[in-house]
Amino acid sequence: NAGVMQNPRHLVRRRGQEARLRCSPMKGHSHVYWYRQLPEEGLKFMVYLQKENIIDESGMPKERFSAEFPKEGPSILRIQQVVRGDSAAYFCASSPGTSGTGNEQYFGPGTRLTVT
């Protein structure tokens, strides 16, 4: 059973470019979460999605960041006009549900974004 997959693992962008990060949840999981980890910091929640729906985006910056989880294909976290402060590790997690043991979240290997 493949785990959560993320790609690319490493992404380098120049200031002002766009970054697209992809996440495929574990088989059987319909809940996807994105987290960001700045250097020497803890993980911070960004957004929670189910297929075709954003459930909670309370952790997303108001500008330049967007996320989707289409009916077909992976979840995408998109960062427009990247700035140096966007450099971080972006982790995706998935879970089969949100209650009981179903809310245990399993993380992908992350995408390390470097903005030059």
Partner 1 sequence: RKEVEQDPGPFNVPEGATVAFNCTYSNSASQSFFWYRQDCRKEPKLLMSVYSSGNEDGRFTAQLNRASQYISLLIRDSKLSDSATYLCVVNYGDYGGSQGNLIFGKGTKLSVKP
Please report, as ranges, the residues that interact with partner 1 according to CB under 8 A.
31, 33, 35, 41-45, 48, 55-56, 58-59, 89, 91, 93, 95, 98-99, 101, 103-110, 112
Smaller CB separation from partner 1, 48 or 86: 48
**Least distance in angstroms from the C-beta of 77 to partner 1:** 15
Extract the tokens encoding 104. 């245990």
Extract the tokens encoding 86. 């966007």
Q: Which helix (H) or strand (E) holds 34?
A: strand 31-37
Smaller CB separation from partner 1, 74 or 109: 109
Smaller CB separation from partner 1, 40 or 63: 40
For 84, the 3-state DSSP assignment is helix
**Least distance in angstroms from the C-beta of 49 to partner 1:** 10
Q: Taking a C-beta distance cutoff of 8 angstroms, is the pair 104, 31 a contact?
A: no
**Least distance in angstroms from the C-beta of 27 to partner 1:** 17
Smaller CB separation from partner 1, 13 or 31: 31
The C-alpha atoms of residue 40 and residue 37 are separated, in whole angstroms, by: 8
